[in-house]
């Protein structure tokens, strides 16, 4: 049960984010002369995406709820030896 919660709550979203994060490439614009100029490097774009992800309230809401879900599942199968304390609540 705990593995199911870990896979659905942490591993799969992290894998999807890393997959999309790795697809970021250098950004180019074409001038009026027909020349391609780099407007943003891959590192700059990845840094921007990372900072925006950390600043997003949805990221923190998801992190809190997934941590609570995983902790609750771990306690319910007595993974920490807290079964008596958890079930007495």
Phi and psi at residue 28, to the nearest 5°:
-125, 150
Give the pLDDT score at 68.
82
Ranges of residues in the chain whose predicted pLDDT is under 70: 1-6, 76-89
pLDDT at residue number 59: 83
Tokens (6 digits) for 12: 């799969």
Read off the tokens for 72.
Answer: 């609750």
Q: What is the model's pTM?
A: 0.56
**Predicted local confidence at residue 78, as pLDDT:** 66
Which tens digits make up the pLDDT trace of 54-77?
Answer: 898 888 888 888 888 777 777 766
- In this prediction, residue 84 carries a pLDDT of 62
Contact yes or no for 21/46 (Cβ under 8 A)? yes
What's the pLDDT score for residue 35?
81
């Amino acid at each position: 049960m705990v593995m199911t919660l870990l896979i659905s709550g942490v591993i799969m979203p992290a894998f999807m984010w890393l997959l999309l994060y790795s697809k970021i490439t250098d950004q180019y614009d074409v001038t009026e002369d027909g020349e391609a100029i780099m407007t943003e490097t891959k590192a700059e774009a990845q840094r921007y995406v990372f900072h925006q992800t950390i600043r997003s309230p949805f990221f923190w809401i998801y992190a809190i709820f997934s941590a609570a879900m995983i902790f609750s599942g771990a306690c319910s199968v007595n993974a920490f030896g807290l079964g008596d304390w958890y079930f007495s609540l």
